[in-house]
């Protein structure tokens, strides 16, 4: 577990709010403190709407679907100015199993394009967590080849990550910057130039991961797939694991403590793989082809890994760590062949697995067996991944509605909150507030 300390020990911040002093847990990456999208805080908000329960709302300059992250007193967000290239032809839905997009699945931002048309610039923005005002903004021009994206996202899809001293932002051209907490550039790299252009159908979206003194980047693209680890202090390469041609992934890796040491779990179209995060050594593979793997893995207290491979309602499965070689027979605890969400990642919380798909169906699964505990059509369109805390599960629909569930073996809706703004990004939870990115704004709900 020592290797996970760079994420788990980011620190606590004391925040003054209406209800007194709250011990705030940082949310330093899109999956939260330990990579599971679970908050340890209490008294998290249950009720909000356009005119109630919103602490602040700040309009955004630029578009994107990256998630907010929270480090200390700052909330970080990445965005794109300018349209950028869109892949020609029909765009399949990203949440309804891959069929042609219906009229109600509109492009990111609708008709809005910030910036100068097709001229693309990237933003890293820092907001004050208390009142939402913009503290600083770092801007850089898109350089090199620009991959063609799906209409529902752009080249600012990867979420930033912070170690409490710097914030790291990666964009789909391959550009990577490390900034200090005052917004000054520490170092930068261009992986598209160093290792080949980012050619992946529908555009790159994997987010960076911190491990010890490394920043790890999954670059699975048609013209050559690899995982790269850089020194987070200098940006210099530490190791590179070549994965061969024709691999594709839109997912983000996960570091989990295994029985023989930490393991880096990677989801791609050919299946799941495990690596040693310190060296890049390949450890194991679990088979199972999936054309467009988007979802990221999660894990339980015992280190069992759960993930979805849900293109066209594909499989979901549980894998025990510690295996070597092909582990389908030895370490795959169970596999359910169909029913997984396409985009939204699954959530493990309080001895249940939760899944929300693009048709508004929410399912709770027994993590020991993969068997369904309950299923309910709650409505909504779920691209954002659910988060949990304080005995509650939060489901964020593209319609702008958040369904708040009481965690448990029966479906129990505590509240439905409608912001009236589309939500595609997964939220962050810190200091008794939930930070939500809509198409047009960043909001904080709660005290």
Q: Domain residues for 51?
A: 2-446
Q: Can you give the C-alpha Rg of the chain in angstroms?
A: 20
- pTM > 0.85: yes
Give the per-residue pLDDT at 135: 99
Average pLDDT over residues 79-102: 57
Which range is least confidently modeled, 13-22, 61-70, 133-142, 402-411?
Answer: 13-22
Residue 181: closest CA among 72, 343, 327, 264: 72
- Kindly tell me if the per-residue pLDDT of 120 is higher than 70: yes
Which range is least confidently modeled, 9-13, 34-38, 224-228, 379-383?
Answer: 9-13
- Kindly tell me if the per-residue pLDDT of 246 is higher than 90: no
| Residue 44 vs residues 154, 287, 305: alpha-carbon distances, Å | 31, 39, 27
Instruction: Place 151 in a pLDDT band, splitting at 50, 70 and 90.
Output: low
Which range is least confidently modeled, 15-29, 151-165, 283-297?
Answer: 15-29
| Residue 397 vs residues 224, 271, 388, 402: alpha-carbon distances, Å | 34, 28, 15, 6
**Which region holds residue 98: left if phi is over 0, alpha if psi is between -120 and 50, else beta?**
left
Q: When comparing pLDDT for 1 and 177, which is higher?
A: 177
Contacts of 192 (CB under 8 A, 6+ apart): 144, 145, 173, 174, 175, 198
Compute the half-sphere exposure of residue 18: CA atoms within 13 Å on the CB side of its CA: 10
| Residue 320 vs residues 4, 213, 308, 338, 339: alpha-carbon distances, Å | 18, 26, 15, 20, 21
353-383 pLDDT, tens digit each: 999 988 899 999 999 999 999 999 999 999 8
- Kindly tell me if the per-residue pLDDT of 158 is higher than 50: yes
Average pLDDT over residues 325-336: 95
Give the per-residue pLDDT at 352: 98
What are the phi and psi torsion angles at 6 (to 5°)?
-65, -25
Give the per-residue pLDDT at 107: 54
Which range is least confidently modeled, 5-14, 137-146, 224-233, 235-244?
Answer: 5-14
Torsion sign across C-alpha atoms 110, 63, 87, 105: negative
What CATH number should be reported for the domain holding residue 181?
A: 2.130.10.10
Instruction: Place 162 in a pLDDT band, splitting at 50, 70 and 90.
Output: very high
Cβ–Cβ contacts within 10 Å for residue 128, how many? Answer: 14
Which residue is it, tokens 């765009």?
Answer: 91
- Kindly tell me if the per-residue pLDDT of 311 is higher than 70: no
Contact 327, 319 (CB under 8 A): yes
The DSSP secondary structure of 275-293, one letter per residue, reads E-TTT--EEEEEE---SS-
Quote the Cα angle for 315-319-325, to 5°: 110
Give the per-residue pLDDT at 13: 43
- Kindly tell me if the per-residue pLDDT of 1 is higher than 70: no
Sheet of 352-356, strand order: 347-349, 352-356, 361-365, 372-377
Q: In the predicted model, what is the mean pLDDT of the chain? A: 86
Average pLDDT over residues 174-189: 98
| Residue 188 vs residues 71, 172, 231, 236: alpha-carbon distances, Å | 21, 14, 12, 10
Torsion sign across C-alpha atoms 387, 206, 381, 342: negative
- Kindly tell me if the per-residue pLDDT of 83 is higher than 80: no
What are the phi and psi torsion angles at 323 (to 5°)?
-80, 170
Give the per-residue pLDDT at 232: 98
Quote the Cα angle for 106-107-112, to 5°: 110
CA–CA dist 432, 311 (Å, integer):
34
Average pLDDT over residues 141-150: 78
CA–CA dist 248, 225 (Å, integer):
8
Number of domains in the chain: 1
254-268 pLDDT, tens digit each: 999 999 999 999 988
Give the per-residue pLDDT at 15: 41
Give the per-residue pLDDT at 4: 44
Give the per-residue pLDDT at 9: 39
190-208 pLDDT, tens digit each: 998 998 877 776 778 889 9
């Amino acid at each position: 577990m020592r290797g996970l300390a760079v994420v788990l020990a980011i620190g606590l911040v004391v925040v003054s709010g209406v209800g007194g002093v709250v011990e705030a847990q940082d949310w330093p990456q899109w999956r939260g403190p330990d990579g599971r999208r679970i908050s340890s805080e209490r008294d998290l908000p249950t009720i909000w709407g356009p005119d109630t329960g919103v602490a602040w709302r700040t309009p955004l300059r630029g578009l994107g679907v990256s998630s907010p992250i929270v480090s200390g007193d700052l909330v970080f967000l990445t965005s794109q100015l300018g349209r950028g290239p869109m892949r020609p032809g029909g765009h399949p839905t990203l949440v309804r199993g891959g069929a042609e997009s219906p009229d109600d699945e509109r492009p990111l931002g609708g008709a809005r394009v910030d910036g100068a048309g097709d001229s693309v610039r990237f933003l890293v923005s820092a907001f004050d967590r208390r009142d939402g005002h913009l503290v600083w903004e770092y801007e850089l021009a898109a350089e090199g080849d620009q991959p063609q994206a799906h209409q529902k996202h752009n080249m600012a899809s990867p979420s930033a990550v912070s170690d409490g001293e710097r914030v790291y932002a990666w964009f789909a051209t391959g550009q990577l910057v490390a900034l200090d907490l005052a917004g000054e550039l520490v170092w930068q790299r261009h992986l598209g130039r160093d290792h080949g252009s980012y050619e992946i159908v529908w555009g790159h979206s994997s987010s960076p991961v911190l491990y010890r003194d490394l920043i790890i980047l999954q670059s699975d693209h048609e013209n050559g797939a690899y995982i790269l680890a850089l020194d987070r202090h200098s940006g210099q390469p530490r190791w590179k694991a070549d994965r061969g041609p024709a691999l594709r992934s839109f997912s983000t890796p996960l570091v989990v403590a295994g029985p023989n040491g930490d393991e880096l779990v990677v989801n791609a179209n050919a299946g799941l793989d495990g690596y040693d995060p310190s060296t890049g050594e390949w450890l194991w593979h679990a088979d199972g082809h999936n054309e467009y793997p988007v979802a990221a893995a999660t894990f339980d207290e015992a280190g069992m890994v759960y993930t979805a491979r849900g293109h066209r309602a594909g499989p979901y499965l549980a894998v025990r760590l510690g295996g070597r070689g092909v582990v389908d027979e030895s370490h795959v605890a169970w596999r359910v062949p169909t029913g997984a969400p396409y985009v939204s990642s699954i959530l493990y919380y309080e001895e249940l697995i939760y899944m929300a798909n693009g048709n508004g169906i929410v399912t709770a699964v027994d993590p020991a067996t993969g068997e369904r505990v309950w299923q309910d059509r709650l409505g909504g369109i779920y691209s954002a991944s659910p988060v949990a805390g304080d005995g509650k599960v939060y489901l964020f629909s593209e319609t702008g509605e958040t369904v708040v569930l009481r965690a448990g073996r029966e479906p129990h809706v505590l509240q439905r909150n409608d912001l009236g703004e589309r939500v595609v990004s997964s939220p962050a939870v810190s200091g008794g507030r939930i930070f939500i990115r809509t198409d047009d704004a960043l909001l904080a709900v709660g005290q």
